[in-house]
Amino acid sequence: MGIIKVNQTDVGAVYEIIHECVLWLQARGMDHWMDYYTEELIKHKFDTGEIFLLKEDDKFVGTISASNQEPYYYSENKDGDNGMPINHTLKFTPGNAWYVSALAVLPESQGRGLAKKLLQYVENYAKEKGMEFLRMDARGDYTDLINMYLRWGFEKVGSMPDPDSEYFLMEKKVL
C-alpha cells in the first residue's frame, strides 16, 4: 500500500474513484457530487493544487486533493451560485492553510481506515509545507462523515446554506 502524488496523466484514475463514490452517494440520496466532479474540474485541481492516489494491490482505491487556495465559494460566493445567498458564520483562524477536497475511497474498500490514511498523509504534507491548518467542508446531513471528521480532530467553524443541505466548514490545527 502506498500514497503517491500524481499528475495530469492520472486524471482517469482519479475520476474513476470519484465517479464510483458519486454513484454510491447517489444511491443514498446524496447527489451533490454528481454534476460537480467532472474530469475538467479534476484537471483544474492539478493547476491549483495537488492530488494524491492511494494504491493497494496494484489498484488505485482512494484519492484526495489539497490546495493552499481557498475554494471560491468560501469567500466569493456572496450572491450564492446555488441560488441561496451565502451568509455563513465563517470563523477560520488566520494563518496558512491547506484546503482539502475530493477525499474519496472506492465503496468496496471503505471501512478499513483508508480515508484516514489519505488525510493523515495530506496533514503531514501540509506540515512539511509550513501550513498551520487543514480546512474542508462537508455536507451537513452526512452525519457519519461529519462525526468521523470530528473524531479526527476537526472542528466545525462555520456553515453555508445549500438547497439540499447545510454545509459545515471545518478546520484542524496541524502546527
Residues 6 or more apart whose Cβ sits within 8 Å of residue 116: 152
Question: CB–CB of 138/170 below 8 Å?
Answer: yes
Q: Position of cell 481506515?
A: 113
Edge-first strand listing for the sheet containing 133-139: 2-6, 50-56, 59-67, 97-105, 133-139, 167-173, 155-160
- Residue whose C-alpha is closest to residue 48's, from 76, 69, 73, 77: 69
Residue by residue, pLDDT tens for the chain (175 residues) are 799 998 888 888 998 998 998 888 788 887 666 666 777 777 777 787 889 999 999 999 999 999 988 876 666 554 445 545 454 555 566 668 999 999 999 999 999 999 999 999 999 999 999 999 999 989 888 898 899 999 999 999 887 777 778 888 899 999 8
- Domain count across the chain: 1
Q: What is the pLDDT of residue 92?
A: 66
Q: What is the pLDDT of residue 56?
A: 94
Distance CA 159, CA 92 (A): 11
Q: What is the pLDDT of residue 103?
A: 92
Distance CA 17, CA 104 (A): 7
Q: What is the pLDDT of residue 32?
A: 64
Question: CB–CB of 93/171 below 8 Å?
Answer: yes
Q: What is the pLDDT of residue 75?
A: 62
Long-range CB contacts (within 8 A, 24+) of 42-50: 42/11, 42/14, 42/15, 42/18, 42/102, 43/8, 43/11, 45/101, 45/102, 46/7, 46/8, 46/11, 49/99, 50/5, 50/125
Q: What is the pLDDT of residue 89?
A: 52
Q: Give pTM, 2 decimals.
A: 0.83
The CATH number of the domain holding residue 129 is 3.40.630.30
What residues make up the domain containing 13?
2-173
Q: What is the pLDDT of residue 43?
A: 76
Residues 6 or more apart whose Cβ sits within 8 Å of residue 80: 86, 161
Structure letter (DSSP) for residue 82: T
Q: What is the pLDDT of residue 90?
A: 57
